[in-house]
Amino acid sequence: MSARTSSSEVTIDRTATAIGPRLRSETEGVRDAIGKLRIPELVLFFGLIFEGSMFGLPLPFNQVVMVGIILLAITRRPQVALGRLQLVVPLLVIGLFYIGLISMFADPSEFAFDWKRRLIRLALTAVLLMVLASGRIDFRSGLAGLGVGMLFNAFAFYGGFAPDNYGGYLSGFFEDKNVAGMAYAVFGVLMLAVVERRWARVLLVLLIGVLVWETGSRTSIAALAAGVGWIVLASKLSVLGRWLLGIVIVIGVSQVAEDYSQIGVFSDREGSDLLRSRIDAASEVKVHDAGFFGSGLGEAYVVFDDDPGKVWLFHNSYSTALVEGGWPWLLIVLGVTAVFALRPFTRELSRQQIVAQAATVTTLICAWRLGEVLFTLQWALVIAIALYAHARARDRYVAEVNTSPEAETR
C-alpha cells in the first residue's frame, strides 16, 4: 500500500468520524423538536388552510377553526406578560367600535356585503390576535401544523382532489391563487422564527419559494423575496440602515411591478392586468367618494357598466380600508402594524423579532396588490408573533440584568 493511499484512507476515516456525531446530533435535534409538538395546536392550525365552507357550515371552515383556537387558548395560562404592549387592546377595540358605528349609520349600496357578518369576523380576528400574543398557544406547534397543512394542500392539488380554480396555478383549499400565494409567503417567513438549524432554514426557504412560484402570484413572489432579504440583511444593520433597506424594498418592488410584470412565464397576463387596472381606477373613485370617514364595511367593490351583474373586489387592501373606514380606520390598522410589529425605532432585535419584521414587510407588500390582507388571519398571526417575540426578548433581557454580577453586588 502506498503512502498516498494510506493518507487518503486516514482522511476519509477522520471525515467519517467528524460527520457521524454531527449527523447524529442533527437527527436527535429534529426528533426532539418533533417530540415537543403539541397535537391540539398541530391539528387546529392545520385546519386554517381551508378557506371554503365545509360540512354544510354557513361560514368558512377556517373561521370555525379560529373559534376552536380561541377556546383552547382560554384554557391555558399566558406565558408572557405583555405589559405596555397591551395598549394594542384599546386600539383594536376603538377601531372596531368606530368602523361598526360607521357601518351602522351608513347607507349601503346595491351590492354591498353584509357589514354585521364582516364586523364579527374582524372581532374574531382581533380576539385571536390577543390570545396568541400572550403565548397561550404554542407557536412552534401551530406553525408546524400550518406547514403540514400547506404541504398537504400542494399534494392534494397536484393529486387532483383539491380545487383547481385558476387553470393549473396552485390554489387548492385556499380557493384563490393570490390567497394561496400570500399564505405560503407570510406563513413561510413566520416559520423561520421557530426553525433553529441553518440547513433547515435554507431548505424551508427553497421549498416555500417553489410553492409560491407555483401559485403564479407575482406580488407574493416579490413579497417572499423581500421578507427573506430582510431576514438576511436587517440583523446586520442599524436602525437607520433598516429604514434605508425598507425604502430600497419599496422602490424595488414598485419598479419590478412596473417594468417586469409581463415577461417570461408572465407574458400572458396582459388581459388580467388590464382588468386589474380598471378595478384600480374604479377603486380610486370610490376612495374619493367615501371621504375622510369611509362608507362602512362591505363597500370595497366595484361594478362596471358593461357588466352590471358582476361584482369585483378591490385588489388594494389600503384602498379597502379607506373605503370602509376612512383615514381613522386605516391609520389605526397601520399604526398597530408599524408600532407593534415593524418596531422601526428599536435598536436591539432578537432573531425572532427580525423574522416578525420580515413577515410584516411581506404582509404589507401583499396588501398592495392581493385584495383583503390587512386585519385578516395572516395579518393577525404576524402581529401576535411580533408581540410575543418582543415580550420574550424583554423578559430575557430583564432576567440577564437581574442575574448579572453587578446586580448581585447591589
Q: How many residues does the chain have?
A: 410
Each residue of 339-386: pLDDT tens digit?
A: 999 999 998 899 999 999 999 999 999 999 999 999 999 999 999 999
Each residue of 207-228: pLDDT tens digit?
A: 999 999 999 999 999 999 999 9
Strands (E), 171-210: none
Q: What percent of the chain has pLDDT over 90?
A: 71
What does the pLDDT read at residue 84?
87
Q: Which residues pair with 307 in a beta bridge?
A: 304
CA neighbor of 341 nearest in space, from 178, 137, 182, 189 = 189
Residue bearing cell 351590492: 111
Region of 376 please: left (phi>0), alpha (psi -120 to 50) or beta.
beta
pTM over 0.85? The answer is yes
Say if residue 288's pLDDT is above 90. Answer: yes
Where helices occur in 36-87 by DSSP H, the ranges are: 39-46, 61-74
Model confidence at 273, pLDDT cuts 50, 70, 90, reads confident
Rounded to whole angstroms, the Cα distance separating 117 from 138 reads 29
CA neighbor of 96 nearest in space, from 129, 126, 70 = 126
What does the pLDDT read at residue 259?
60
Q: Which residue has the higher pLDDT, 274 or 288?
A: 288
Helix (H) or strand (E) holding 200: helix 198-215
Question: What is the mean predicted confidence (pLDDT) over 201-211?
Answer: 96
Beta carbons within 8 Å of 339's beta carbon, 6+ residues apart: none
Strands (E), 171-306: 301-304
What is the distance between the terminal CA atoms of the chain, rounded to a whole angstrom? 69
User: What would the 3-class secondary structure string for 330-370 be?
Assistant: HHHHHHHHHHHHHCCCCCCCCHHHHHHHHHHHHHHHHHHHC
- The three grid cell numbers given for residue 66, joined into one nine-digit string: 379560529
The SS3 assignment for 375 reads coil
Report the range of poorest mean pLDDT among 36-40, 68-72, 121-125, 296-300.
Answer: 36-40
Each residue of 226-271: pLDDT tens digit?
A: 999 999 999 999 999 999 999 999 999 888 776 655 565 665 666 7
To the nearest 5 percent, what fractions of the chain are helix, strand and coil?
Answer: 70, 5, 25
What does the pLDDT read at residue 233?
96
Model confidence at 34, pLDDT cuts 50, 70, 90, reads low
Rounded to whole angstroms, the Cα distance separating 260 from 258 reads 6
Report the range of poorest mean pLDDT among 102-116, 192-206, 246-260, 323-337.
Answer: 246-260
The SS3 assignment for 166 reads coil
Beta carbons within 8 Å of 38's beta carbon, 6+ residues apart: 138, 141
Model confidence at 293, pLDDT cuts 50, 70, 90, reads very high
Q: Which residue has the higher pLDDT, 298 or 409?
A: 298
Q: CA angle, corner 128, sides to 125 and 130, nearest 5?
A: 115
How many other C-beta atoms can be found within 10 angstroms of the C-beta atom of residue 219?
A: 22
